[in-house]
Amino acid sequence: MIGRLQCVVLDCPDPAVLAAFYAGLLGGEVDRPDRRWSLGEDWSTLHTPDGRVLCFQRVADHRPPRWPDPAHPQQAHLDVDVPDLATAEPAVRALGATLLQDAGSWRVYADPAGHPICLLPARHSG
């Protein structure tokens, strides 16, 4: 095991609206303070009753997916907590990931099919 799934992030035009929708569907608390994320108009969260976290990220000129149209694919990525980025990097590359961006304190990789995965240093939620 290289890391632990932190959350699933959905691209959208209005994070607060989508967070409220999923809160109505799944229950939970919208925008609960959590040291892992900065909340704001471009980012909203939902902590579900079973402990899972969904995050909603504003994307300019968002084009919604059309099922099952590959010209308008699903727009989501995984955030994965890792104990140590320096150790995680060669391990995730050995699995077939490709570095897309070194953001300093975290890294963005593409899985073998091109889906983004953010590796973040593990922090305790609070």
Q: What residue type is assigned to position 56 of the chain?
A: F
The rounded percent of the chain whose pLDDT value lies above 90 is: 72
Residues 64 and 102 sit within 8 Å (Cβ to Cβ): no
pLDDT reading at 124 higher than 70: no
**pTM of the predicted protein model:** 0.79
pLDDT tens digits, one per residue of 59-114? 999 888 887 888 888 788 889 999 999 999 999 999 999 999 999 999 999 988 78
pLDDT at 126: 44
pLDDT at 72: 81
- Taking the C-alpha atoms of residue 9 and residue 42, their distance in angstroms, rounded to an integer, is 12
pLDDT reading at 125 higher than 70: no
Eight-state DSSP code of residue 94: H
Arithmetic mean of pLDDT over the chain: 91
Q: CATH for 4-60+75-121? A: 3.10.180.10
pLDDT tens digits, one per residue of 11-25? 999 999 999 999 998
Handedness of CA 15, 20, 45, 74 (dihedral sign): negative
Q: For the chain, how many residues are written?
A: 126
The torsion angles phi and psi of 33, rounded to 5 degrees, stand at -55, 135
